[in-house]
Structure 1
Amino acid sequence: MSIPLLSYSLSTQNQRVAGYEISGGDEQSTIYSTDSLPSASEMDEVIWAAYRQIFSEHQILKSTRQPFLESQLRFNQITIKDFVKGLILSDAFRKLNYDANNNYRFVEMCVQRVLGRDIYNERERLAWSIVVAEKGIATFVNMLLDSDEYMENFGDATVPYQRRRYLFSRSSGEMPFNLKTPRYGEEFRGKLCKPQFIWQGVIRSFKPQEAKAKAGDPSLFLNMVRSVSPSARF
């Protein structure tokens, strides 16, 4: 029997507060959409924005590119929502984000990059982590993309973005998620240290030259006999 999604409170965060700032400010995220039938160059910007949102800039490598998905998007065979889903479920995203972190950290990154906000509380982090552990990544991603929150804010044709970075009580807005959160969680960083090898053999002690037995010392004969027969007693 599967565990239903745990309920969690919707904390009052910046993206849930009505804004009165002037549109077009530096703190506002640029919205990339295919509703206006973008040209070839504009489509390049839309695709780049999707990569930057899902992978973040430090993960945009040649190995993370998905040419087949890009081709489908350019020819209107898939929507932005489908493109985002393909990026998250790609082997490159899994290797860089899922395999390198635990479920709690992976959930936090996906909520930030897909829903454009931070997690509300530890209850939400736990709820989505259970979904990942029990039903897998694909089901978790589908639940995020099919949620009312995603459809109301981004729909099928808009690239997700960090919502409401502007804060009236501060001189600058919220720090971008890509800069605020490191690539690896604390649990994974602890595994990056050098392995400690434990020697299982006999521990030998070394004496300085002046402390070693000299020629003619009876202890040399006793040590030689003990090495041949450890049970010898004198």
Structure 2
Amino acid sequence: MSIPVLNYSFSTQNQRVDGFEYYPGEEQPKIYTTENLPTAYEMDEIIWAAYRQIFSEHQILSSNAEPFLESQLRFNQIKVKDFIKGLLLSNSFRDLNYNFNNNYRFVEMVIQRVLGRDIYNNREKLAFSIIIASQGLDVFFDTLLNSDEYIENFGDNTVPYQRRRIIAQRSKGEVPFNLKTPRMGKEFLDKQGMPQLLWSGPIRTFRPQEQKPKAGDPALFLNMVLDVSPIGIK
């Protein structure tokens, strides 16, 4: 028996910020869609936009490309939504994002990139984290892609994009969602049980002038000459 999704309020601090649909301007993202029979060049842009949205610009590498999925999309064998799901399920996305985060951070990042908005609150983060832990990533991705929110905003043919502006917070250094990249945080290190290099012994300092000369050192011969010389060496 699967665990039902926790209830959470559909509110966040960013909800009071007007979306792009009300006040379009320079910040408004470009819409990439296959609804108007795109040319080959336009299809290249659609595929690139999907990689940028899901992987972020930091992770767009030739080694992360999915040529089979790209071919299916170009020949209209799959929809843009299917292409997005394929990228989410790819080994590259898992290795670069899921494996380097705990479930809470991963949920926040995926919601930002797939639904184009920030999380509402910590309870929403917890609700989807439970889905990942109990049912796996596949169910988590399907829950987002088949949600009314995704279908109403992007449908089957539009690449997800950031739908709402971000409140400027200098202390947090807010940037667009697709420019954020996961970091190996303290929570991940604790979860993996990675050892820390700690030295329990005494800490000693070394000063060259305190080191005694060894046998054969020329300094010893100088001291010998000073000892036998009746008047010393000046």
Distance change in 2, residues 1:85/1:15 (3 Å): farther
Superposed displacement of residue 9, structure 1:
0.1
Aligned partner of 2:178 in structure 1 is 178
Instruction: Name the amino acid aligned to 2:112.
Output: Q
What CA distance in whole angstroms lies between the structure 1 residues aligned with 2:147 and 2:106? Answer: 18
Instruction: Name the amino acid aligned to 1:38.
Output: P
What CA distance in whole angstroms lies between the structure 1 residues aligned with 2:121 and 2:89? Answer: 25
CA contact (8 A) 1:28 1:166 kept: no
Q: Which runs of 5+ in 1 are unaligned?
A: 168-173, 211-234
Aligned partner of 2:6 in structure 1 is 6
Distance change in 2, residues 1:66/1:35 (3 Å): same
Distance change in 2, residues 1:96/1:134 (3 Å): same
CA contact (8 A) 2:53 2:161 kept: yes
What CA distance in whole angstroms lies between the structure 2 residues aligned with 1:187 and 1:6? Answer: 27
Which residue of 13, 19, 22 corresponds with 1:20? 22
What CA distance in whole angstroms lies between the structure 2 residues aligned with 1:31 and 1:209? Answer: 71
CA contact (8 A) 1:165 1:175 kept: no
State the TM-score, normalized to the length of structure 1. Answer: 0.75
State the TM-score, normalized to the length of structure 2. Answer: 0.75
Pairwise CA RMSD: 3.0
Instruction: Name the amino acid aligned to 2:185.
Output: E
Distance change in 2, residues 1:17/1:122 (3 Å): same
Q: Which consecutive segments of 4 or more residues in structure 1 shift more than 3 A? A: 12-20, 188-195, 197-200
Superposed displacement of residue 2, structure 1:
2.5
Aligned partner of 1:147 in structure 2 is 147
Give a deviation string over 1:179-211, Cα, whole Å, max 9, x none.
4x44215325757998416689xx9x9xx888x
What is the aligned length?
A: 197
- Tell me if 1:55 matches 2:71: no
Instruction: Name the amino acid aligned to 2:139.
Output: T
Superposed displacement of residue 90, structure 1:
0.2
Distance change in 2, residues 1:120/1:64 (3 Å): same
Q: Percent of pairs identical after alignment?
A: 60
Aligned partner of 1:226 in structure 2 is none
Aligned partner of 1:220 in structure 2 is none
Secondary structure of 1:107 counterpart = helix
The 5-angstrom pairing of residues 21-100 of structure 1 reads: 21=23, 23=24, 25-100=25-100
CA contact (8 A) 2:101 2:183 kept: yes
Give a deviation string over 1:11-61, Cα, whole Å, max 9, x none.
05448856532x4x2110110000000000000000000000000000011
Aligned partner of 1:218 in structure 2 is none
Secondary structure of 1:114 counterpart = helix
Q: Which runs of 5+ in 2 are unaligned?
A: 168-173, 205-209, 213-234
